[in-house]
Amino acid sequence: MNILYSSSDSYAFLTGISLLSLLESNKKCQEIHIYIMDNKISAENKEKLMQIASDYYRDLSFVPMPDIKELTSQEIDTKRWNISTFGRLYMAGILPDSVHKVLNLDCDTIVLDSLEPLWDTDLHGKVFGGMLECINDRYRYNIGMKSGEKYLNGGIVFLNCDEVRRNNYEKRFTEYIRKYGSSLAYLDQDVLNGVVEADKKIQLPMRYNVLSIYFYTTYRQLVSIRRSKFFYSAEEYEAAKENPGLVHFTTCFLDGVRPWIEGNQHPYLNRFLEYKAVSPWTDMPLQEDKRGAMIKLRSKLIKITPRGILCPVASVLHSIIIPNRNKRRMKKMENQQI
């Protein structure tokens, strides 16, 4: 298996914890090569990452992070995300030609099961695979997709490097970023879904990318909040939560903070802390919750608000107000290109 993480120095400890969980859960895999796209990771943290791989007798290579500003000729406001998130779009060009496919994992994950069944997915004729995102059509329309077409989450991306190289997708990715830049709601995720044709995507099993919000909502609540008609079945949803292969600690309004910050209550917090405790960052304290007083108050109110009130309000915000705002931003960017 070829696995790639994209990391900056501030997220190196998360990358290390995820890497440790990956290697521990995939001991029986015959061969694993780890690639880390390096966005100014310190020598100290690089040494720690290499030590983890060495402890499991696995190969680890650092590869350069592409200069997104130079590629796109613009400064991009990535909001709460790091600019390194765009790096995964250029995996095929950065990795050796001998790498025919690669599984990209976000660093805010822990792997709880073998990824070999996922790795064995047939990507012939496909550009990438991922897990369905629970969204409504407004988000699809914003990036040029049609109703019901597969919009896949970018947290775990299974990329067919040969297909990307053969059809020059990286050039198309760059052109798309130049066109929409800072107006992209979900950055590289929007680029992948907006550029890659519907028949070139493949839907992967939900259990390999179980997002935080899934643990805080019932199936009915989630599809109600997101107003989504195209998602996994209720049975797949419950099975994924009961037996996740990979837990993805995404930002969630029902969670407040994430596991490396004080006060988190995620159901898999203890598993995260177990891996942290045996990692080279065992002595690193959890980060202080530095959210402002009003944001903390809002978080407390969200947790005590009855779901019968909260879900309809969240639905209007997530499914109407936010995508309409995104549409205006993208239209403004389009007009600036004329």
pLDDT of residue 80: 63
Widest pairwise Cα distance in the chain: 55
**Nearest alpha carbon to residue 45 among 284, 232, 307, 325:** 284
Instruction: Read off the tokens for 182.
Output: 């800072």
- Could you tell me which residues come within 8 angstroms of residue 96 by beta carbon, excluding any fewer than 6 positions away? none
β-pairing, 109-111 vs 246-248, is: antiparallel
pLDDT in tens, 85-105: 788 899 999 999 999 999 999
Please tell me the pTM assigned to this model: 0.93
Which residues constitute the domain of residue 85? 2-337
- Chain mean position to CA 82: 12
What's the rounded Cα separation, in Å, for the pair 238 and 251? 20
What's the whole-number average pLDDT of the chain?
93
β-pairing, 2-8 vs 210-211, is: unpaired
Q: Which amino acid is present at 73?
A: S
- Could you tell me which residues come within 8 angstroms of residue 302 by beta carbon, excluding any fewer than 6 positions away? 253, 254, 310
Mean pLDDT by 10 residues, the chain (338 residues): 95 98 97 96 98 97 87 68 77 95 97 97 96 94 92 95 96 89 84 95 97 96 94 97 97 93 96 98 96 93 92 93 89 75
Structurally, how many domains does the chain consist of?
1
pLDDT in tens, 241-257: 999 999 999 999 999 89
Domain of 269, CATH number, reads 3.90.550.10
